[in-house]
Amino acid sequence: MHKVLCSTGALITRKNGRDHRLLAGFAEQLHCDGFEFMLYDSWYDKLDSIADDVKAMGLDIPAVHCEKSIGELIAAEDDLAYERFEMNCKAAERVGAKLLVLHLWNGLVSDSNFGANLRAYGRLADMAAEHGLTLTVENVVCNQSTPAAHLKELAEEYPHIPFTFDTKMAEFHGELDKVYDEKLWTDNIRHLHINDYGGGVKDWSDLRTLHFGGGHVDFERFFAFERKMGYSGDFTVEASSVRDDGSVDINKLNRDFLIIKGHIA
């Protein structure tokens, strides 16, 4: 059964001190089916206690988004990537997740050493499996090639590798049309990030993650194809929702959840 999830990254940011304890109060107001829990690099020295706090909230957390520096460390061929990834896996297992979302490449280094990122996936997937987790790779933006090209390379190296497909990331690169490939859905897409984008192709000055209607993603076509393909995974909303004072625009998020549920009903 589909679940519509809210990314905690849409709720907990630097603007409210990255205070994970706020999640319990937000959860009471949100009309989602569960959460994709976002991990931050500032949490490593207290990650066990944070995971315990979140577990105690009793929320449904099917997915965890790995901390984003891991992809940068992999590109630098730094073994700290694997130490941090193991910590991510332990935290995900502790909160009850079954799926991980990974930026296999990330940051300014991005995909400049993609061969290292490609080689790393197998080891990372094995590590995740030891914790009962499925490791998905997200089609995140890159500054050398394109996400679609890298997903293709990954699928050639690791047949049936699971992907998280983000509509905003694809629209940013002008390659949302590439998602209308039936083989991609049957073999690889296991999770979806449903976000809007309002900038131009590779407009690095406008990377904002928008709510429905804030950009130009053709969601009617996207959801029609998703239904045709019989997609059975979950959907995560990540739209930036934290105001400057640290409060959250709950109404906009609930509207997004309602729209998605209307499309998949």
Model pLDDT for residues 44-69, shown as the tens digit of each residue: 999 999 999 999 999 999 999 999 99
Kindly give, in sequence order, each residue whose CB lies less than 8 Å from that of residue 3, ignoring residues fewer than 6 positions away: 33, 34, 60, 62, 234, 235
What does the pLDDT average to over 192-213?
Answer: 96
What number is the average pLDDT over the span 105-131? Answer: 98
- Length of the chain in terms of residues written: 265
Report whether pLDDT(1) > 80: no
Give the Cβ contact number of residue 128 at 10 Å: 23
Query: What is the model's pLDDT at position 8?
Result: 99
What is the per-residue DSSP string for the chain? ---EEEEGGGT-SGGGTT-GGGHHHHHTT---SEEEEEP-GGGGGGHHHHHHHHHHTT----EEEPPTHHHHHHHTT-THHHHHHHHHHHHHHHHT--EEEE-SSBTTTBTTTHHHHHHHHHHHHHHHHTTT-EEEEE----SSS-HHHHHHHHHHHSTT--EEEEHHHHHHTT-GGGG--HHHHHHTEEEEE--B--S-TT-TT----BPTTSS---HHHHHHHHHHTT--SEEEE----B-TTS-B-HHHHHHHHHHHHHHH-
User: How far is Cα 138 from Cα 163, in angstroms, rounded to an integer?
Assistant: 6
- The pTM of this model reads 0.98
Structural domain boundaries in the chain = 4-264
105 pLDDT above the threshold of 80: yes
Domain at 4-264: CATH architecture: Alpha-Beta Barrel (3.20)
Cβ neighbour number for residue 104 with a 10 Å cutoff: 26
CA–CA–CA angle 67, 257, 173 (5° rounding): 55
Phi-psi region of 209 (alpha: psi -120 to 50; beta: other; left: phi over 0): beta
pLDDT at 185 over 80: yes
**What percent of the chain has pLDDT above 70?**
100
